[in-house]
Amino acid sequence: MKREIKFLFYFILFISLISVTSGRPMYMKTFVDFPDEVKVCTTCHVQSSGYGGLNPFGKDFYESGKSLTPELMQLDSDGDLFSNIEELRAGTNPGDSGSTPKEESPGMTAIIAISAITLLVIIRHTGKKRK
Ligand SMILES: [Ca+2]
């Protein structure tokens, strides 16, 4: 009985090591120019374990010869209205329609520009009244 338990322990350890080392880090090199958020298995797979198959981007990536072709970059694999290149640059998942780049807000530059224009209009207007 002890021998069988020992065998089972080593078998499970062996299987665990195989599953850890059978990851596909070579595909991660393809995404070297993009944020770390997309250098994960779920960029192409449904699950991080690799089970569940490929997501829509993973299928398109596979069909494009496992490389980031210009055609693949222009596609919107997950149908969320953002192209794959937009999503990869933003660090969102191009294979998950629930993961999208955030809408850009006007930001401080626009607020400062509007304030400066308003201030100039007020100064000109009050300057004309004094004359
Ligand atoms: Ca998309």
The predicted-structure confidence for 100-114, as pLDDT tens digits, reads as follows 998 656 667 778 888
**For residues 116 and 30, what is the distance between their CA atoms, to the nearest angstrom?**
45
Instruction: Tell me if the pTM is above 0.85.
Output: no
84 to 28, 59, 80: CA distances (angstroms)? 16, 13, 10
How far, in Å, is the centroid of ligand 1 from the Cα of 42? 14
pLDDT digits (tens, 9 = 90+) for 47-86: 988 788 999 999 999 999 999 999 999 999 999 999 999 9
How far, in Å, is the centroid of ligand 1 from the Cα of 44? 13
Could you tell me which of 32, 50, 48 has the C-alpha nearest to residue 40? 48
How far, in Å, is the centroid of ligand 1 from the Cα of 109? 28
Ion ligand 1 — residues with CB under 5 Å? Answer: 76, 78, 80, 82, 87
